[in-house]
Amino acid sequence: MNRFSGRLYGLIATLSVMLACQANGQTFKSNGYAYDISAAPKWVESVQAPAAPGHDNGAVEYLLVDRQTSAATRSPQYFYHFVERANNLDGLEEISHLKVTFNPDFQQLIWHKLNVIRDGKVIDRLDPQSITLIREETELNQEMFSGYVTSVVFVKGTRVGDVVDFSYSIVGRNPVFGDHYFQGLSMSWQAPVHRLYTRVIAPPNRELRISAVKYDAQPTISAYGKSKVYVWDDANVAAYYNEGNYPLDYEPGSFISLTDFPDWDGVIRWAEPLYAVRPIKSKELRDLRDELKSMPKEQAVITALQFAQEQIRYLGIELGQNSHLPRAPDMVIENRYGDCKDKTLLLVSLLRSIGIDAYPALVSWEIASGVDKIAPSPGGFDHVITLVELDGQRYWLDPTRRYQKGSLNTLGYYDYGKALIIGHPSERELVKVGLPEVAGVPSMITRERFKVIDYSAPVEHFITTEYTGIEADRMRQRLANKSIREFSQDMLNYMQKLYPGAEQLEPVQITDDGANNRFIIDEHYRINDFYAPVDNVQATRFYAYSLFEYVKSPAVTRRSGPLTLPGPIRVVHDISLEYPSSLKFTDQAAKVSQSNDYFNYFYQEDYLGRTLNLHHELEFKRAAMPAEATQSFLDLKKQINNSGEHYYQVTRNEETDKSRFGDFISSIQSVVYGLEAPQ
């Protein structure tokens, strides 16, 4: 259980102005960062944990989760109180190592108490010597700097069976949000909670909008001066089981979100001043603008997009208000770096300066369409892209992506689910993103050809793999950081897992058809011992390996939650074998078809003269399927495993050899497990 946040869509982390210390408190410093120790504020209600029951609830027993918020003052205060018991050594490690994260640029951390309770005796462990503040920057590997600091506390002298009772407050909000209040709170976790107490004092004279998912309890509402107080008091909160393999917009637990924004239009009005187009003063940008004016509009859009993607490196310095406030294009050009906000405002400013309709659009990498399940606020969004409207079409462009090529109709697009468009004259609600109708489904098409000169001789093996759309972008990115020699070795290593006698006859050949966004890889091998002779029978195997990575079994197959799918995507794998003479086939050519609302799969064998052709085609139409459809996915996996590995025997016939009439071939299909395409 994550005692501090759960999956809250980042709402609490973004809610944040440094205040003076509370009365009678003491200020301490650690590694240059300050925190306070003082009594709990007077507005907080005292809440008691229930009597400790038996030790049958895992490593840690969560007796009380108490969260109280006061938005009635200029700077909101967030109070947290936890009571936990260690049932074994694993649990002891967890409750003896506490971590609280806050942003010192606009927040204040105040520790109130830290007690260890043993056999009814209370031992005070709130010792400044045990509190260390460190700046972790957990997203540093993604080139993002947020300024958040973690208070780490190692509780001394704890034993199995001890109860740790601690509380703290985080005071303040990011000034970028003005005086708005919004918050998200998990109401269940993967461990049971004996008492869950949630109390929110609303801003004065404002109504809160509350959205709940998988949570039906209604709050008790009372008055607190000019504010309303909302209280939820839940006993014996059951744990939920995380099945995994969920689509992004699905939350397995229960949660509530609260906001003083009246609607999504209110969020747009908050964001519009942040994304107001700035005048372009930089000579480089003015020269680029003049160049764009001379181009056809579609070419101008692509040129501006590639400038933002390739000429401005990604770096997110999201300190203070710049967590949500983009930098001016002139500053971005001077720095030569920017994050999604900076790059989007740069791109929008360029396009509007030449008369093309372009708008920033707030989206979520983490929860995609799930933003429509939370109460309206900026808290559900973690990314910004650009909407371009041109000739009656909508194009959702991401200036942070790299290695994109093609026209507006062939670019690789990602479906962000739902978006909130900033500054659009008519769109004032969440809108569906989807993929442009003209873009088509991204694809991966593999064509293998085996040329058998003689059954005792090595076999030549040719492979051509073509990627389109977002799949082409991914391959460009992969190849950008590898030499052809290294990539060729990767391909050979994989092929030798299938055919131990494979030799690479030449390095991998790369063709990047940028105009049509097609990325093509050609491979050429010689396979020794392709056939394994037994008496007068020659046997071999070959594989439709590109399909297997798309039909991996989920961790839980009997599901109550939806299952994520890799769609939309089209995967084709064709195999042809050219034999040295004509063949007679003893088996009837196989043909398999499986189709529903979520995928199509088709497999067919064809025997023609000297050539055996095998065709596999798999298309995922959607990115998820409901739990009740999971069995159809498992059936698909079984079918692809059955038809995706091929075992063939060629039986030599002396009489037919003399007449050169041909050989006889019989096929049996077996199952492949754990085989994936090279990564």
Cα dist from 574 to 294, 458, 467, 542, 670, whole Å: 45, 21, 14, 11, 18
Cα dist from 227 to 73, 204, 304, whole Å: 10, 4, 49
- By the 8 A CB rule, do 619 and 570 touch? yes
Distant-in-sequence, close-in-space partners of 57: CB < 8 Å, separation ≥ 6: 87, 191, 192
CA distance 473 to 517: 8
CA distance 527 to 462: 11
Stretch (H or E) spanning 417: none
Query: Which stretches of 107-195 are DSSP H helices?
Result: none
- On the question of pLDDT at 533 being above 90, the answer is no
Amino acid 210: pLDDT: 97
- On the question of pLDDT at 679 being above 70, the answer is no
pLDDT mean over 163-174? 96
Q: Token pair of 510, please?
A: 């790369």
Q: Which residues pair with 137 in a beta bridge?
A: none
Q: Token pair of 592, please?
A: 């398999």
Phi, psi for 478 (deg, rounded to 5)? -65, -45
DSSP category for residue 377 = S
End-to-end C-alpha distance for the chain, whole angstroms: 33
Mapped onto helix, strand or coil, the DSSP state of residue 489 is helix
Cα dist from 419 to 8, 385, 386, 393, 427, whole Å: 19, 9, 10, 16, 10
* Residues constituting the chain: 679
Q: What share of the chain is helix, strand, coil (3-state, %, to 5)?
A: 20, 35, 40
Amino acid 50: pLDDT: 93
pLDDT mean over 564-586? 89
Mapped onto helix, strand or coil, the DSSP state of residue 599 is strand
Query: Could you read off the pLDDT of 605-650 as tens digits, one per residue?
Result: 988 878 889 999 999 999 999 999 999 999 999 999 988 887 777 7
pLDDT bucket at 676, cuts 50 / 70 / 90:
very low
Q: Which residues pair with 70 in a beta bridge?
A: 77, 201
Domains belonging to the chain, first-starting first, are 11-260 (2.60.40.3140), 283-432 (3.10.620.30), 443-670 (2.60.120.1130)
Sign of torsion, CA 239 552 630 211? positive
CA distance 51 to 35: 32
Q: Token pair of 315, please?
A: 């770096």
Query: Could you read off the pLDDT of 415-471 as tens digits, one per residue?
Result: 999 999 999 999 999 999 998 877 889 999 999 999 998 888 899 999 999 999 999
Amino acid 660: pLDDT: 35
CA distance 675 to 646: 13
- On the question of pLDDT at 4 being above 70, the answer is no
- What would you report as the CA-atom Rg of the chain, rounded to the nearest whole angstrom? 31
Query: Could you read off the pLDDT of 121-149 as tens digits, one per residue?
Result: 999 999 999 999 998 866 666 666 778 89
pLDDT mean over 12-33? 58
Q: Token pair of 525, please?
A: 């091998």
CB burial class (10 A; 0-12, 13-18, 19+) of residue 584? Answer: middle
> Pick the residue with more confidence: 453 or 585?
453
